[in-house]
Amino acid sequence: MLAYALRRILIMIPMLILISVVVFFLALLMPGDPFSGEIDPNNTSAEYLEEMREKQGYNDPIPVQYQRWVKKIITKGDFGKSTKYKKDVIDVVLEKIPNTLFLAVCALIITYILAFILGMYSGRRPYTLGDNLIATFNYGGIAIPQYIIAILAIYFFAYSLGWFPSSGSVTPGLESGTWAYWADKIHHVILPALTLGLFSTASYTQFLRNDIIQNSQRDFVRSARARGTSESRIYNKHILRNSIIPLITFFGFDLATLIGGAIITETIFTYPGIGMLFIDSINNRDYPIIMSLTLMFSTLTLVGNLFSDLLYGVVDPRIRY
């Protein structure tokens, strides 16, 4: 497995280089000018503008600018300076990423718990009324766009019923680290986490249900029934163990997907994470943050895929690398 992991990491290096090139040139193609956020708005003289453009390196050839950007990232971990917040990009991202990680982890927990419960029920009782209701939920969760679900959730559960807050990550004024703080933080994250994880919940529920039905018809299950093994033991030990392996391997990929997919959810719920930061940076032409977050999302996807492949070999002894 170690040799396989090293090979995959080596393969990731040229992919990361290609991603960095794409990210850099896409930023250059975006409308507007990143230079506008780094000058004094009160001084618009041609001499000053040309001096600052030369100082910031915008007059250098594009390959030179790209090389300088990559070199700073690799050697110093310097992703540039935010033109809006006037501080290092890494500091801005580190302020926002705990909220997004908390949201993604909560969405993962909700996704796997619901998918496990609903998938097991549908798999053991296929084609019943309960199974049909769960299937309706699954198809709705897959078909309805995430932003529609978020708006409906805010309208019904926040405004109409008043069960959950419609925005923010915590009530202002609470002391950080206290029980009241964390309880309020969980209260704020439930609604966006449900919205963010709904698509995965619906997909995994249907996947687990179909896999349980398929495994229940295999020879080893018939043999277990012939030996007089109870149905609960057959489903919990023989069928479920085989059906849940693919779901476990999705974990690494899911975490990367949820962090990247939180952009829409965080924006609608005004949840202060890196998703909302990404949209805000686009609106404000904050190119260093846009480039850094795009590079981070792409890297997380590659790492998530690698983690999922390695985890597959851990949970399924039949897999050999």
Specify whether 54 is located in the same domain as 97: no
Residue 248 lies in a domain: yes
CA dist 138 → 47, 92, 134, 144, 306 (Å)? 62, 37, 6, 10, 28
3-state secondary structure of 88: strand
**Angstrom distance (rounded) from CA 88 to CA 201:** 37
Give me the sign of the Cα torsion angle 232, 233, 236, 240. negative
Which residues are CB-neighbours of 239 under 8 A, at least 6 positions away? 123, 212, 215, 216, 221
Specify whether 166 is located in the same domain as 310: yes
Residue carrying the six token digits 């209701």: 133
Residue 104 lies in a domain: yes
CB 150 within 8 A of CB 195: yes
Residue carrying the six token digits 């019904």: 156
Specify whether 49 is located in the same domain as 111: no
Q: Along the 321 residues of the chain, how does pLDDT read in single tens digits?
A: 677 778 877 888 888 888 888 888 887 777 655 555 555 556 666 676 667 677 666 677 878 888 888 888 888 888 888 878 888 888 888 888 888 888 888 888 888 889 888 988 888 888 889 889 999 988 888 888 888 888 998 999 988 888 888 888 888 877 777 888 888 889 989 999 988 888 888 888 888 888 888 877 777 777 877 787 777 777 777 777 777 776 776 766 677 777 776 788 888 888 888 888 888 888 887 888 888 888 888 888 888 777 777 776 666 666 665
**Angstrom distance (rounded) from CA 289 to CA 293:** 6
Specify whether 45 is located in the same domain as 115: no
CA dist 291 → 97, 262, 303, 308 (Å)? 16, 17, 18, 26
CB 266 within 8 A of CB 192: yes
**pTM, 2 dp:** 0.81
Please state the domain count of the chain.
Answer: 2
Residue 252 lies in a domain: yes
**Angstrom distance (rounded) from CA 246 to CA 105:** 19
CB 98 within 8 A of CB 274: no
The domain boundary, picked from 76, 100, 127, lies at 76
Which CATH number do you get for residue 102? 1.10.3720.10
pLDDT at position 133: 92
For 43, the domain range is: 2-76
Residue 82 lies in a domain: no
pLDDT at position 249: 67
The domain boundary, picked from 76, 104, 123, lies at 76
Residue 86 lies in a domain: no
Other C-beta atoms lying within 10 Å of the C-beta of residue 51: 12
Specify whether 142 is located in the same domain as 72: no
Specify whether 107 is located in the same domain as 57: no
The domain boundary, picked from 76, 106, 136, lies at 76
**Angstrom distance (rounded) from CA 300 to CA 262:** 13
Amino acid, res. 171: T
